[in-house]
């Protein structure tokens, strides 16, 4: 693999990283040391990521008064992260979201994946990318690049998959996440970051104002699988074309929002705006641009008394997710955009989160 050769050239001993603050975070049950890396753009935007799950653990950004808050949900300890079932900040793969019955067919051959949500396969299975220790390729004060090799047969997937992921902070207060993947046998690939955001830093997110550049969405079954229909958001509780508070119509949606919103049916070469969120109280604003055709909007419907970072307790609607990705269950939905990666192809995704305060130009 080209990525494997890159890894051989670039990776250094973990103690050699002198430009990024590296601290011991914990030890896995198999004895692997896990580190936490702190990054800083020099403009007030800081973040911490760990090599366990290539997970975004914290992100601090000032409010309109200059007060810093952590605006992602997370944990203080590695032990809590290890036990996490909410995917706080995790990198999700090989396939984000759900695959019906954990099955799909490639070139006439049926593959059976692990079934970790009733009969369905969710977020890469019982041991997805969020439960793996990633290697470090490059690290400096404002960026870090991880690498993971996923062997053929893991969680039932075909092909050896090589994945590279970088987090980068810019002087424009952007968090840029780049993904690259290559396989030696055809397999579906759908990667995302599963951060829960709360721009206020605490409380619930129902007063946040959301805009989605998505004229369509995917209706779901009771099992949260897409029905196959691609519906218009017009005149419905799913219409965020014009800004609306998250809580304005949430009670009209059974269980709350956990739906794929569709901007396009095609991947774009350059990131395009897909979402904007503003917290009126703090004045913090986050915009998202991505090369992906859709975004999964989830409102933390299943959070229940989770003991999180900085003494916070996360309850229902304590955070929201905006997961840039392809449609769920695409391998079983012929009308959905293709997610099959073949050996002569390279998977690429770029997603950009930009942070600002109300009143900035």
Q: What is the pLDDT tens value at each position of the chain, 361 positions in all?
A: 333 333 332 333 344 433 589 999 999 999 999 999 999 999 999 999 999 999 999 999 999 999 999 999 999 999 999 999 999 999 999 999 999 999 999 999 999 999 999 999 999 999 999 999 999 999 988 899 999 999 999 999 999 999 999 999 999 999 999 999 999 999 999 999 999 999 999 999 999 999 999 999 999 999 999 999 999 999 999 999 999 999 999 999 999 999 999 998 878 789 999 999 999 999 999 999 999 999 999 999 999 999 999 999 999 999 999 999 999 999 999 999 999 999 999 999 999 999 999 987 5
Residue-level pLDDT at 361: 52
- Residues marked as catalytic: 194, 323
Distance CA 126, CA 337 (A): 26
From 163, 230, 169, select the one nearest 3 (Cα to Cα): 163
- Lookup: tokens for 213: 């550049």
For tokens 């950009």, the residue is 352
Residue-level pLDDT at 205: 98
Residue-level pLDDT at 136: 95
Q: Hey, is 227 helix, strand or coil? A: coil
Q: How many CB atoms lie within 10 A of CB 72?
A: 22
Residue-level pLDDT at 240: 98
Distance CA 298, CA 45 (A): 25
- Lookup: tokens for 221: 């079954």
Q: Are strands 209-212 and 91-92 parallel, antiparallel or unpaired?
A: unpaired
For tokens 């470090």, the residue is 136
- 25-53 burial: b if 16+ Cβ within 10 Å, else e: bbeeeeeeebbbbbbebeeebbbbbbbbb
Q: What is the DSSP string of 23-53?
A: EEEEE-TTS-EEEEEEEE-SSS-EEEEETBT
Longest dimension (CA), the chain: 59
Residue 88 near residue 195 (C-beta atoms within 8 A): yes
């Amino acid at each position: 693999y080209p990525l494997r050769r890159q890894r051989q050239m670039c990776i250094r001993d973990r103690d050699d990283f002198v430009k990024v603050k590296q601290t011991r975070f914990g030890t896995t049950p198999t004895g692997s040391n896990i580190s936490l890396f702190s990054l800083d753009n020099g403009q007030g935007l800081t973040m911490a990521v760990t090599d366990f799950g290539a997970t975004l653990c914290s992100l601090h950004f000032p409010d309109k008064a200059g007060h810093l808050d952590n605006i992602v949900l997370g944990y203080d300890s590695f032990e809590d992260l290890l036990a996490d079932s909410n995917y706080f900040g995790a990198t999700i793969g090989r396939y984000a979201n759900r695959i019906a019955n954990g099955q799909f067919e490639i070139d006439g051959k049926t593959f059976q994946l692990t079934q970790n949500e009733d009969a369905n396969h969710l977020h890469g299975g019982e041991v997805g990318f969020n439960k793996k220790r990633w290697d470090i390729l490059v690290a400096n004060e404002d960026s870090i690049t991880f690498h993971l090799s996923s062997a053929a047969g893991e969680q039932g997937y075909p092909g050896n998959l090589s994945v590279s992921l970088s987090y980068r902070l810019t002087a424009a207060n952007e968090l840029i996440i780049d993904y690259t993947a290559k396989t030696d046998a055809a397999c579906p690939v759908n990667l995302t970051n599963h951060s829960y955001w709360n721009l206020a830093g605490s409380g619930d997110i129902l007063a946040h104002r959301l805009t989605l550049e998505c004229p369509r969405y995917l209706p779901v079954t009771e099992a949260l699988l897409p029905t196959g229909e691609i519906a218009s958001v017009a005149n419905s509780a799913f219409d965020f074309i014009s800004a609306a508070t998250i809580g304005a119509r949430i009670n009209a949606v059974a269980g709350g929002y956990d739906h794929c919103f569709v901007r396009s049916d095609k991947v774009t070469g350059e990131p395009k705006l897909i979402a904007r969120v503003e917290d009126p109280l703090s004045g913090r604003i986050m915009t998202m641009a991505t090369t992906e055709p859709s975004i999964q909007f989830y409102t933390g419907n299943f959070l229940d008394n989770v003991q999180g970072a900085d003494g916070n307790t996360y309850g229902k609607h304590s955070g929201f997710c905006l997961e840039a990705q392809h449609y769920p269950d695409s391998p079983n939905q012929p009308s959905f955009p293709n997610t099959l990666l073949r050996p002569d192809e390279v998977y690429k995704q770029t997603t950009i989160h930009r942070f600002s305060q109300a009143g900035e130009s």
